[in-house]
Amino acid sequence: MRPDAAVAARTLAITGGSGGAGKTQIAVNLAAALAAMRHRVLLIDAHPNAGNAALMLGVRTPLHLTDVASGRKSLADVAHEGLCGVTVAAAFAQPADLAHLPPWQRERLARGLAAAEFDFIVIDAPLDALDILAEELEPIIVCTPEPASLAGAYSVFKQIARQRPGSRAKLLVNMADDEATERVYLAVAAISRRFLGTAPEYGGHVPADPAVEQACRRRAPFVVEFPDSPAGSAVRAIAARFCRSALRRHESWIHQQGM
């Protein structure tokens, strides 16, 4: 059962610190897994000079969300259905295009995204792009067991805790085994509680898996190419948890409406 259109789309923001943590892979595969579960999914590719998320889902477009913000185009004009039934939109041609939007254009873009009938919006974006794209979102900080990635994850969570107090940020550990996952999460959570008084929630982990690289070479999501691989199974399990919580959210909305 999909959430009703009257319930706002749940926005999952895939972000992180240093490069190499696999944020785009997580965003694309999470979006594909949610779509496979019969949810309407919009993936926003908001990485500068990249477009890898869109390309992995077979979408190329000269139009961007900045065209929606300016009023030149509608969301339907710039968003296109890609592989796996995921709708894809690129955020900008150049990072400055998004960063320099005047307030009324940001509001127009926010209204356009809010009015779209999606169950989930997955944003693949650096932290500084998130405030422009969405007010209500759930940050998912992706890191690996590497020390630089751990430091980057803490830095990102610190910014989120200060800029979005009360937001339910999650830490997703990528390319790790079970033992490393627990160690990574506990390390970030401990230092966060010590210096910030709060910590990210545990968002799951995706193990290191050769299937990821094989699917990447084919420019396809590994949850589709290798659905039963360790990484594919892990992402599908994470997507299933989001689906269950989305269903509870929908049922709560129905109860509040007295239906």
Residue 88 has pLDDT above 90, yes or no: yes
Q: What percentage of the chain reaches a pLDDT higher than 90?
A: 60
What is the tens place of the pLDDT at every residue in 177-213?
A: 888 999 999 999 999 999 999 999 999 999 999 999 9
Q: Is 84 exposed, middle or buried (0-12, 13-18, 19+ CB in 10 A)?
A: buried
pTM for this model (two decimals):
0.90
Q: What percentage of the chain reaches a pLDDT higher than 70?
A: 90
Contact present, 17 and 156 (Cβ < 8 Å): yes
**Residue 139: both structure tokens together:** 């940050």
Contacts of 87 by beta carbon, 8 Å cutoff, 6+ apart: 40, 41, 42, 43, 79, 80, 81, 118
Write down the CATH superfamily of domain 10-256. Answer: P-loop containing nucleotide triphosphate hydrolases (3.40.50.300)
Higher per-residue confidence, 167 vs 48:
167
Higher per-residue confidence, 169 vs 19:
169
Q: How many residues does the chain have?
A: 259
Residue 25 has pLDDT above 50, yes or no: yes
Contacts of 64 by beta carbon, 8 Å cutoff, 6+ apart: 78, 89, 90, 91, 92, 93, 97
pLDDT at residue 48, rounded to an integer? 64
Q: Mean pLDDT, to the nearest integer, of 120-134?
A: 85
Least confident of 67-76, 90-99, 187-196, 219-228: 90-99
Residue 247 has pLDDT above 80, yes or no: no
pLDDT at residue 250, rounded to an integer? 44
Higher per-residue confidence, 258 vs 255:
258
Integer CA distances (angstroms), 133 to 16, 87, 225, in order: 16, 16, 30
**Residue 58: both structure tokens together:** 């077979």
Mean pLDDT (the chain) is: 87
**Residue ranges covered by each domain of the chain:** 10-256
Least confident of 24-28, 45-49, 233-237: 45-49
Residue 42 has pLDDT above 50, yes or no: yes
The DSSP-derived string for 175-230 is S--HHHHHHHHHHHHHHHHHHHS--PEEEEEE---HHHHHHHHTTS-HHHHSTTSH
Q: Mean pLDDT, to the nearest integer, of 201-229?
A: 94
